[in-house]
Structure 1
Amino acid sequence: MKKSYRVKKEAEFQAVFDYHHSVANRAFVLYQMPKPQQKHFRVGLSVGKKIAHTAVLRNQVKRYLRQSILELRSEIQPECDFLIIARPLATQLDFHETKQNLIHLLKLGKILIEDK
């Protein structure tokens, strides 16, 4: 995923948190903030040490999320920043389950563009 598609700086993360618009399912929490002037969406991923105790497991969850987002890129609304925070269940999911949970979460947050 290109750098322009990522929320990296702490101040940017904090701005999305402070917007106070979130939805959740059993595996992930989604925080979002609209940015009308933006050409494409930006995403931040967080998998804490309390969720996955080893770096290998944390990185695996983030790889699954990045690949899922890459596959869904054309269906995600372009004018928003969002953060995906992993919950403990996320470490037990394979790639396809992760993608299905992510689709569910993005639909809850109304970030996924529905086919009409």
Structure 2
Amino acid sequence: MKLSESMKKNANFKSVYKSGKSLANTYLIMYVMENHTERNKLGVSVSKKVGNSVIRHRITRLIRESYRLNEEMFNSGLDIVVIARAGAKGRNYLEINSALLHLSRMHKILKETTKS
């Protein structure tokens, strides 16, 4: 079941930049803001400073896939914008996935898991 949708409108990105909380690590910057709905919206931004279009689209796909595979771990009702830093260039899936989950833990937007 798809729990989130893609953020496409520039106004949505601007509102998250303005009102959301941001944290960063070596590869990514993450802005998070509550959207008061049942679904998450994920926006990915990769600047031309990171590389050519092939590199930028690859990083975008890695971030989206990482989020998709871990989607059930995230709390719902959030607007999330992930910005790739220049350090993300040439990184593999595991490194991007680790960076995304690290920022999610720092933002405390992952569901609490009980160990049995």
If the length of structure 2 is used for normalisation, what is the TM-score? 0.91
Aligned residue type for 1:66:
R
Give the drift of 1:92: 2.5
Partner of 1:93: 91
Distance (Å, rounded) in 2 between the aligned partners of 1:19 and 1:110: 17
The gaps in structure 1 that reach 5 residues or longer are none
Give a deviation string over 1:37-85, Cα, whole Å, max 9, x none: x111111000000112x10000000010111011011011111101000
SS at match of 2:8: coil
Structure having the larger proportion of residues in strand: 2
Partner of 2:40: 41
If the length of structure 1 is used for normalisation, what is the TM-score? 0.91
Alignment RMSD: 1.3
SS at match of 2:89: helix
Aligned residue type for 2:22:
S
Partner of 2:110: 112
**Number of paired residues?**
112
Identity across matched positions, percent: 31
The gaps in structure 2 that reach 5 residues or longer are none
Partner of 1:9: 9
Structure 1 residues 52-67: aligned runs within 5 Å: 52=51, 54-67=52-65
Distance (Å, rounded) in 1 between the aligned partners of 2:20 and 2:111: 22
